[in-house]
Amino acid sequence: MTAVVMTAALTFSVAACGGGSDDDKKSNGGGTEQAFNASVGNIFNPSTKTGGTLKLAISEDWDSVDPGDTYYGLSWNFLRTYARTLTMFKPVPGTGSEELVGDLAEGLGVSSEGGKTWTYKLRSGLKYEDGSPITSKDIKYAVLRTVDKDVLVHGPTYLGDFLNLPAGYKGVYKSKGVNTDQAIETPDDKTIVFHLKQPFGGFDYFAMLPGTAPVPEAKDTGVKYKEKVVSSGPYKFENYQEGKGFSLVRNPNWDKATDPNRPALPDRYEVTLGVESNDIDNRLISGDLDVDIAGTGVQPASLSRVLNDPALKAQSDNPGSARTWYTSINPKVAPLDKLDCRKAIMYAADRTGLQAAYGGPVAGGEIATSLMPPNIAGHQKIDLYPAGADNKGDVAKAKEALTACGQPNGFSTTMAFRSDRPKEQAVAESLQQSLARVGIKLTLKGLPTGDYFSLYAGKPSYRDGNNLGLMTNGWSADWNDGFGFLSQIVDSRTIRESGGSSNLSIYMPEVDKLIDQAIAETDKAKREAIWADIDKKIMENAVVLPSVWSKALTLRSKNATNIFVNEAFGQYDYMMMGAAK
């Protein structure tokens, strides 16, 4: 998840948002005393009080508020306020938040045919914001619309890849009227049955994807649907201004009796887009803002201020996540089409500079030596390009690699970064300096976050045509296993010529073959070993320069209540928060 991150059928209880018995509160660690990491594994300022307004901001544009067209983790986290999916991550602190529970569905899916068929029963009484009923046909339509990646360019490809769709099927817009019952059946308004091309035991994770949020066909306007999303959750859009912001208010037709997972505490959410990053930090500190919705932590200018002020430090949390920040190295542009030229970058990079760019060991994370982070099952220690005892790079090895690739004096290439993310600009500047030591000259090119993957770095024709040799990137697991972390960013079959690709640099048929082996492998230990092997082969091919396995120093506001880190997202659980005023 560009963002972007589990199996027992459990439901939300009052205890999960801070009520219940004293024992419940103790087990959840709920408390109201400000303290460092008070929201990690615990609920800070637990509350069941309704009312008030939560104010959120982000320094960039949103990829899309359309649940079928989004792939940022922050969006997946937030959209649960206005959209419901078949299943969802359990909204509790600690590792329990990595478990799946039923959402629109009464519970998890029932499999048959050895995992090729999955059946879900919907809860009774589900309604849209206009009071019309939500049916299984609306979920089927929603899933099928996500198949068209020319129209809805963002979002994962899992469902389109795995469903047993008719040959040549291109989605509801281009293949209108095509019978798709071989892929999805809706025998009645409360039942939906998915048929896969091959067995997959983790389909409940697919049922969690935003693309399973229902869409009424009569209200679908394709790429413009984001301008008027029809709510299935406790909040609906009061207004929406693309690139500027939006507000959510209560959905009068949401029935809590149908939704055991959401407390729906605030009366209102206000989201502002395009706010300068340092201004967001200042407003959080002053209390004018409740959440930096990006969830990637305070900026370098605020870091020392927060850590050195006891009151501010007590108002902060330092959660880790199943996320790696890295730089994609494009093998499709010369001279990076030569392995040794890519290895030169791996050796020359100052790893401490990359870590500092992301905020250092506290706010940035641990120096990464491979793509897959340590909290993903199957992770193995891989360090193929040692950066010296001081982690500042091995200049001699880099020069040897340059000679081996026929560029002894270095070469020039372009590095792209997301221009509204100061940390990524700092990454680009750090690499510009460290690579210059061996004659590799970088021209830096800032691109807007909202279109970074759809129009620029994630669109091969633009990427290669504009000589983007290096591109800042980052990935958070869709769920915490090898498939949930790696598949969308290392499988060359997920690269889309139309744009929206999360895989920017990995074209390796042997990796694609290993992914298929891992999917088919039923032995957990053997499956995890395959994911580790994939990680190693990617590093051997030098198409990814890892920076850090992520951590973030985040600030919680004094107005917000019921705050905890949802470990499935590595961020505060925005759906569960309340407001004092």
Q: How many whole angstroms separate alpha carbon 13 and alpha carbon 580?
A: 21
pLDDT (average), residues 571-576: 96
Q: Which pLDDT belongs to residue 8?
A: 29
DSSP conformation class of 455: I
Residue 3 has pLDDT above 80, yes or no: no
CB 311 within 8 A of CB 285: no
- Band of the pLDDT at 520, cuts 50, 70, 90? confident
Q: How many whole angstroms separate alpha carbon 85 and alpha carbon 80?
A: 8
**What is the SS3 assignment for 246?**
strand
pLDDT (average), residues 265-294: 96
Q: Which pLDDT belongs to residue 5?
A: 34
Going from the C-alpha of 199 to that of each of 109, 202, 522, 526, the distances in angstroms are: 14, 9, 10, 17
- Can you count the helices (H) and strands (E) in the chain? 17, 23
Residue 9 has pLDDT above 50, yes or no: no
Q: Tokens in use for 320?
A: 């880790």
- Band of the pLDDT at 6, cuts 50, 70, 90? very low
Q: Which pLDDT belongs to residue 450?
A: 87
Residue 385 has pLDDT above 80, yes or no: yes
Contacts of 72 (CB under 8 A, 6+ apart): 1, 2, 3, 4, 62, 63
For CA atoms 157, 163, 168, 172, give the dihedral sign: negative
Q: Which pLDDT belongs to residue 4?
A: 35
- The C-alpha angle 116, 485, 450, rounded to 5 degrees, equals 110
Q: Which pLDDT belongs to residue 461?
A: 97
Q: Which pLDDT belongs to residue 320?
A: 84
pLDDT (average), residues 535-551: 97
Scan for tokens 């640099």, then name that residue: 505
Going from the C-alpha of 330 to that of each of 87, 334, 452, 470, the distances in angstroms are: 36, 9, 15, 6
CB 128 within 8 A of CB 137: no
CB 303 within 8 A of CB 294: no
What is the percent of the chain with per-residue pLDDT over 90, rounded to a whole number? 86
**What is the SS3 assignment for 320?**
strand
CB 82 within 8 A of CB 74: no
Tens digit of each residue's pLDDT (9 = 90 or more) over 76-135: 999 999 999 999 999 999 989 989 999 999 999 999 999 999 999 999 999 999 999 999
Tens digit of each residue's pLDDT (9 = 90 or more) over 400-413: 999 999 999 999 99
CB 385 within 8 A of CB 347: yes
Q: Which residues of 154-179 are buried (b: 16+ CB within 10 A; e: fewer)?
A: bbbbbbbbbbebeeebbbbbebeeee
Q: Tokens in use for 144?
A: 């099928």
pLDDT (average), residues 515-524: 90
Going from the C-alpha of 461 to that of each of 364, 418, 499, the distances in angstroms are: 32, 18, 9
44 burial (CB, 10 Å; 0-12 / 13-18 / 19+) is buried
Phi, psi of 88, deg, nearest 5: -155, 165
pLDDT (average), residues 220-226: 97
Strand ranges, E, within 330-462: 365-367, 412-418, 441-447
Residue 310 has pLDDT above 60, yes or no: yes
- 490 - beta bridge partners? none
- Band of the pLDDT at 31, cuts 50, 70, 90? confident
Q: Which pLDDT belongs to residue 1?
A: 64
Q: Which pLDDT belongs to residue 21?
A: 30
- 396 - beta bridge partners? none
- Band of the pLDDT at 29, cuts 50, 70, 90? low
CB 42 within 8 A of CB 113: no
Q: Which pLDDT belongs to residue 375?
A: 86
Going from the C-alpha of 118 to that of each of 184, 201, 482, 521, 536, the distances in angstroms are: 10, 10, 22, 19, 33
Tens digit of each residue's pLDDT (9 = 90 or more) over 131-181: 999 999 999 999 999 999 999 999 999 999 999 999 999 999 999 999 999
Tens digit of each residue's pLDDT (9 = 90 or more) over 39-56: 999 999 999 999 999 999
- Band of the pLDDT at 522, cuts 50, 70, 90? confident
Neighbours of 425 (CB within 10 A): 17
The closest alpha carbon to 171, from 68, 86, 84, belongs to 68
The closest alpha carbon to 452, from 419, 407, 410, 428, belongs to 419
